[in-house]
Chains A and B, each alone.
Chain A
Amino acid sequence: MSSAGVDQGELELVASLRECDEAAFVALVQKCHPSMVRVARVFVTSEAVAEEVAQESWLAVLEGIGGFQGRSSLRSWIFSIVANRARTHAQREGRSAPFSSFQEQEDEVAVDPDRFNPPGHRWEGHWSAPPERWADEQLLIQETLQLTKKAMETLPPAQRQVIELRDVEGCSAEEVCEALGVSDGNQRVLLHRARSRVRAILEPHLRRTA
């Protein structure tokens, strides 16, 4: 899913699109549209606006495909168009959802510090309340999927954008940096916090019952 380079099929698709080939357009729509709405949705407040952004983005894709250089994958190029438009919409909506790690807390930790032995303890910093193994059978049931969706909605915007693109959409780190205009280091910090938070939210629900 996360191909950074341009593959042969993609080159052909781009060539057909440049010739305004409807079948090529439909193929791309099938592949990308739901993801584009999701990407837009992390910036704007409603599903309807996200849909609108995705449609606008298709026009921008059609207008811009002639200039597509193939330096990034087609998908990440499309996602960066969506992200830019969605950002503009969000600002217009008066909802500034700027991508900034400055809104992030400096000292956010992956796991509640109380779950480790305190300073002065012989095993300082080692688990005092260790995690319990999760049952694999519980992982992909509807309830867990719903909970995960909700958990991601509670994340600060920047974290949510990164985890949606990386783990939900399966984008590569490079694609996310390009789409969100963020440095590689920031991308990783945000991904780390997002995954840690979602894990913590899932934890009480997935603990294997003895």
Chain B
Amino acid sequence: MSSRVPDQPTCREIVELITDYLEGRLPLEARTRLEQHLVFCDWCRVYLEQIHQTIRVAGAVTEESLSPEKREELVRLFRDWKGKK
């Protein structure tokens, strides 16, 4: 319908704007158009939700903590450095 309603973004355009939207960097006019699209487009709402989910899962991949051995190694590094200072 882009041919009929040129100032309305298509889904294909929406998916390219998602990051700027989430970063709060979309100009107000573009943000308004994007949100008006999300009002009626379930598919783009699902897409946006999937980007949120992608961010969430990326944030969960690293849970590793420091091993006691590694910690000791770094403390030794610190003491050596302090000794030489």
Contacts and interface: CB of A to CB of B under 8 A. Distances in A.
A77 interface: no
A38 B66 CA distance: 12
Contacts of A167: 54-55, 58-59
Contact of A195 (B54, B61, B64): B54
A152 B58 contact: yes
Given A58-B77, A191-B19, 7 more contacts: A59-B77, A125-B13, A131-B50, A133-B49, A136-B53, A195-B54, A203-B50
A110 B3 contact: no
29 contacts: A22-B75, A22-B82, A25-B74, A29-B75, A33-B74, A34-B65, A34-B66, A58-B77, A58-B78, A59-B77, A111-B15, A116-B10, A116-B12, A124-B1, A124-B2, A125-B2, A126-B11, A127-B11, A139-B57, A163-B58, A168-B61, A168-B62, A169-B62, A195-B58, A196-B19, A198-B54, A199-B51, A203-B50, A206-B53
Give chain B's interface secondary structure class. Answer: helix
Nearest to A173: B23
Contact of B61 (A123, A132, A149, A206): A149
Contact of A38 (B46, B47, B55, B62): B62
A116 B11 contact: yes
A109 B16 contact: yes
Interface residues of A, number: 54
Interface stretch (A84-92, A95-103, A140-148): A140-148
B43 A127 contact: yes
Most chain A CB within 10 A, of B2, B56, B73, B85, is at B2
A111 B46 contact: no
Given A20-B85, A110-B15, A125-B2, A145 B77 contact: no
Contacts of A71: none
A167 B50 CA distance: 14
B53 A131 contact: no
A56 to B, nearest CB: 10
